[in-house]
Structure 1
Amino acid sequence: MKRLWIALVLLAAIFTGTLLHIRSLHNFTDTLGGLLEQADELAAAEDWGQARALTVQAKDAWADRDIYLHVLLRHADTDAIYAGFRETLALLDSREYGEYAAANARLITQIELLYEAEQLTLKNIF
């Protein structure tokens, strides 16, 4: 009987950790997405410097959590997002709004998909 309780406590701890991870990831991805959407609006208004500053802020936030993200998420996903940041910054420097907007939208979608992949839904479980 003692082993059963220990197993239940461990399962509860793992489940709680999973829920905390999902909530944290949701807040983080929402913040990054918001920064990148603001950057897109600024680039559309041809405020390239401020758009770049917001994109760098989002990239730095990503880099600050690099270890956490690499441990808990698929490496291919995290690497693709890092590459997306580099592409988006390069296009901001070239001031090509059409290409930048497409790359930025792709980056925002990749970030949103991270959260969707971690949600506890039937689609993700099966």
Structure 2
Amino acid sequence: MRSCLTPIAILAAILAFALWNGSHMADSTDRWRDQLQQVDALAQAEAWTEALDALAESYEDWSERQTYLHIVAKHDSVDDAEAMYRRAMAFAATRELTEFRAELSDLRDQLRLLTEMERLDIKNVL
């Protein structure tokens, strides 16, 4: 019986971390998606300076979590979101509303996918 306790404790710790990670990732991506929604609203109102500033703040928030994201998420997904942030900033700088809104939409969807990949779900386990 005693020999079973160590593996059970390890599995419990892994499960606890997986649950915490999924929750933390959901909180972070929800915050970034909300920020991007506000950026989109500013761009639609043609407040480009404010939109670019808000996008830069969101990108800074995103950048502060890069180490964590690269540890727990697939690098390709994180790198794709990074590229989308940079393209969105370029479109905002040139005031290309259609391209900018499309890129923001893709970025929000990419962030949603990051959350899905970290959620404890049967399709992620199998």
TM class, shorter-length: over 0.9
Q: AA paired with 1:118? A: E
1:77 aligns to what?
Answer: 77
2:13 corresponding residue in structure 1: 13
Residue aligning to 1:116: 116
Structure with the larger RCO, 1 or 2 (CA within 8 Å, 6+ apart): 2
Tell me the TM-score normalised to structure 2 length: 0.96
The count of residues paired between Structure 1 and Structure 2 equals: 126
TM-score scaled by length of structure 1: 0.96
Aligned partners of 1:122, 1:8: CA distance in 2, in Å?
Answer: 21
Q: Aligned letter for 1:81? A: A
Separation in structure 2 between the aligned mates of residue 72 and residue 61 of structure 1, nearest angstrom: 17
**Structure 1: which 5+ runs fail to align?**
none
1:117 maps to amino acid: M
Q: Please tell me the residue identity of whatever aligns with 1:53.
A: D
Moved over 4 A (4+): none
Q: How far 1:123 moved relative to its partner?
A: 2.1
- Please give the alpha-carbon distance, in whole angstroms, between the structure 2 residues aligned to 1:124 and 1:18: 12
Q: Secondary structure at the match of 1:67?
A: helix
Aligned position for 1:52: 52
1 CA distance for matches of 2:57 and 2:8?
A: 42
Alignment gaps of 5+ in structure 2? none
Query: RMSD value over aligned CA atoms?
Result: 0.8
What is the distance in 2 between the residues matched to 1:19 and 1:82?
A: 25
Give the share of equivalent positions with the same residue, in percent: 32
**Aligned runs of 1:12-51 on 2, under 5 Å?**
12-51=12-51
